Structure 1
Amino acid sequence: MANKQVFPTKGNLIATKKSNDLAHMGYELMDRKRNILTREMMSLLDDVKLLRDKITITYQKAYYALQQANMSLGVISDLVEAVPVDTGIHISYRSVMGVEIPKIQYDKQEYKLTYGLDHANSKLDYAYRCFYKVKEMTVILAEVENSVYRLANAIRKAQKRANALKNIVIPDFEHNIKFITDALEEKEREEFSRQKVIKATKDRRKAEESAT
């Protein structure tokens, strides 16, 4: 519906047309942003599924090996405490159409056993290797899943803005343009008719004056 607060003047018509052009540009930008972000997200979704499957399988192997080690060695909590805390994770960000996507840099530690071999066995060593692999894959998965979440959130916002421009803002501008244009044309027709009446009146008076 046309905005009743818009007065039908040439200045308002020019301003409304400019605003309408900007709204169209904004819609095209939002639509393009949404498409680019969607492609970026879709390229990551397959990675998420693949990584989750790998982590699940590796966890199953690790926990099974850990159970076997517990049965053969007894409680191994003291051995586990010897594993150092990993602090080699650094996070930076890259921008995709204004969306900050995390990039995790993982400084891999040299794989080495941190407990004495005289208190361990091959089952515990295998469990340790599996958990070591899981840690590396979890870092990658955290980066990918966080990226997907941020992209999905940005896509929803871009879609919402694009819909608002397409379904509300642009139609309002176009209705206002038509309202102002029709009003100005009607005003011009009325002015033209008024001028014709004035001219006809003047011509009649001249004719009457000439006759007398």
Structure 2
Amino acid sequence: MDPNEVPTKGNLIRARNSLALSRQGYELMDKKRNILIRELTQYIEQAKDIQDNIDRTFREAYAALQEANVQMGIETVSNIAESLPVDDGIEVVIRSVMGTEIPVVRHEESLNARPSYAFYRTRDSLDKAQTAFLRVKELTLRLSQVESAAHRLATNIQKTQKRANALRNITIPHYEELVKNISNSLEEKEREEFTR
């Protein structure tokens, strides 16, 4: 027999305290799960909106690029595109939501925001294409941030659900049974001593 299950008043007090702590832990896990689910639904809605916006902006960008290719020639547009500086001003910072690490993507305003090519050989369709593709890049960064956050939240929701279920289905019933058994044994001992 486990020493903690021996029917003594000390073990009864410890079992009651453990039961109260387990119930409190379950309530906290349930609250955490609900908060994480609320956060997850917000991220899912954001991801849908951003994806729709990306699709629309991609169509606009490719239409503008196609127009620039027709007006200026594919080779000229390709040469201008290759002359643009590489944008590597992306930084990922982590924030925490209920113990879940959520990435936050920060993007420095790029040098590409202003055209780095001469205006006398280009058309406004090229400017429109560049602006649209910059917008696509910004939206893609936001979408990657939101989808990563949603994935991490979903993983943490599963872990929290498992822990809450373990408390509710295993730990709490175990301590309830232990308190009941120890209480019954102590009451029986008291009755025996009373009848002597």
Q: 1:9 maps to which residue?
A: 8
- Identical-residue share of aligned pairs (%): 46
* Residue in 1 that maps onto 2:30: 31
What residue is the counterpart of 1:124 in the other structure? 126
Distance 2:62 2:163 in 1: 47
Unaligned runs of 5+ in 2: none
Could you tell me which amino acid in structure 2 is paired with residue 87 of structure 1? Answer: D
**Alignment partner, residue 60 of structure 1:** 59
CA RMSD of aligned residues (A): 2.0
Unaligned stretches of 5+ residues in structure 1: 196-212
Q: Does the residue aligned with 2:106 lie in a helix, a strand or coil?
A: strand
User: Given the alignment, which residue of 121, 136, 140 partners 2:138?
Assistant: 136
Count of aligned residue pairs for this structure pair: 191
Show the 5 A alignment for 1:59-208: 59-72=58-71, 73-75=73-75, 76-109=77-110, 111-193=113-195, 195=196
Letter of the 1:30 counterpart:
M
Task: Provide the C-alpha distance between the structure 2 equivalents of 1:97 and 1:105, rounded to a whole number of angstroms.
Answer: 22
- 1:97-127 Cα distance to aligned partner (Å, 9 max, x none): 2222222222212521233445543333322
- Which has the larger Rg? 1
Amino acid at match of 1:126: K
In structure 2, C-alpha distance between the alignment counterparts of 1:46 and 1:134, rounded to whole Å:
19
Q: TM-score, normalised by structure 2?
A: 0.86
Q: In 2, Cα distance between the equivalents of 1:146 and 1:161?
A: 23
Query: What secondary structure, in the 3-state scheme, does the structure 2 residue paired with 1:85 have?
Result: coil
Distance 2:131 2:65 in 1: 11
CA-CA distance at 1:52 after TM superposition: 0.5
